[in-house]
Amino acid sequence: MRRIRRLASLLALSACTFGPAVRSPGYGTPGRLREGQLEVGGGVAVPGGAGGPGAGGPYLAYAVRDWANVEVGADFLYRTWALGYLGGRFTYAPKRDRKFHGALDGELGVGVGAGGSLWCPGDPGRADCDGRRWYDRFAVGAYTGGGAGYHLSFFSVFARGRVQTTVADGLPPTTYGVVQGGIQFRIARHVDLHGSGGIFGTSMTAPKILLQPYWDVGLSVRFDVRSKRRPSARAEHRLSL
């Protein structure tokens, strides 16, 4: 009986002691941006069976080249964490001018903020067992992942995976992983709406991993912000001739 109680206590501790995530929602289908475009978006991710609100937030992405985006954003979970992140996305889509084409991408980034939870019995709204609230826990982390997709005119399908690890004051390092697949719709040429589902895993101390279903939704809008390039001095000289 004591062993059973001890095992139950360990499982509860593992389930309720965790650091924050750097970036919760997925990104959708690779290859949305062209050089000089700005994307404003956001999303929310919800592990299946979760009784509270989902995690997520807004982001900005700018395409420095067709194959390279810079992304900055924030991730929140109510009364649990708040982090900002900076990352890059690298895309391979050699036939993106066609209506039907495939695309691959890879992402990596870092985040900083506050959050996490140290489990103890009682009201979860109170301070954790060490007397700290979530905003008292400085946290840093990093993420990496990748995706593959296929564009079919205004419709596309994709699969993604991401791994991220965070370290917060007074908590063990926490690793999150997700594998997901979904669909994306393009609306009015500049708006994309995507949704996906998959498996979400959390690990505080390897090899113990807690798995559960996962789903997310996201919305993004693209703008052309770069003005047309002026011809170089050499090109202007040739034109004058």
Domains along the sequence of the chain with CATH: 2-240 (2.40.160.20)
- Higher-pLDDT residue of 227 and 189 is 189
How far, CA to CA in Å, does 174 sit from each of 14, 19, 21, 81, 113? 10, 5, 8, 13, 15
- Given a cut of 90, is residue 12 above it in pLDDT? no
Angle at 202 between CA 199 and CA 208, to 5 degrees: 110
Q: What token pair was written down for 157?
A: 């399908």
- Residue 177 — φ and ψ, nearest 5°? -140, 145
- Give pLDDT, residue 238: 42
**187 in Cβ contact with 194 (< 8 Å):** no
pLDDT in tens, 117-135: 887 665 544 567 778 899 9
pLDDT in tens, 58-82: 999 999 999 999 999 999 999 999 9
Least confident of 76-80, 87-91, 224-228: 224-228
Give the residue-averaged pLDDT of 39-54. 82
DSSP string, 70-130: EEEEEEEETTTEEEEEEEEEEEE-TTTTSSEEEEEEEEEEEEEEEE-B---SS-TTS--TT
Q: What token pair was written down for 155?
A: 């419709």
**216 in Cβ contact with 45 (< 8 Å):** yes
Q: Round to whole Å and give the CA distance between 86 and 198.
A: 25
Q: What token pair was written down for 186?
A: 């393009």
b/e map 155-184, b = 16+ CB within 10 Å: ebbbbbbbebbbbbebbbebbbbbebbbeb
**155 in Cβ contact with 185 (< 8 Å):** yes
- Give pLDDT, residue 81: 96
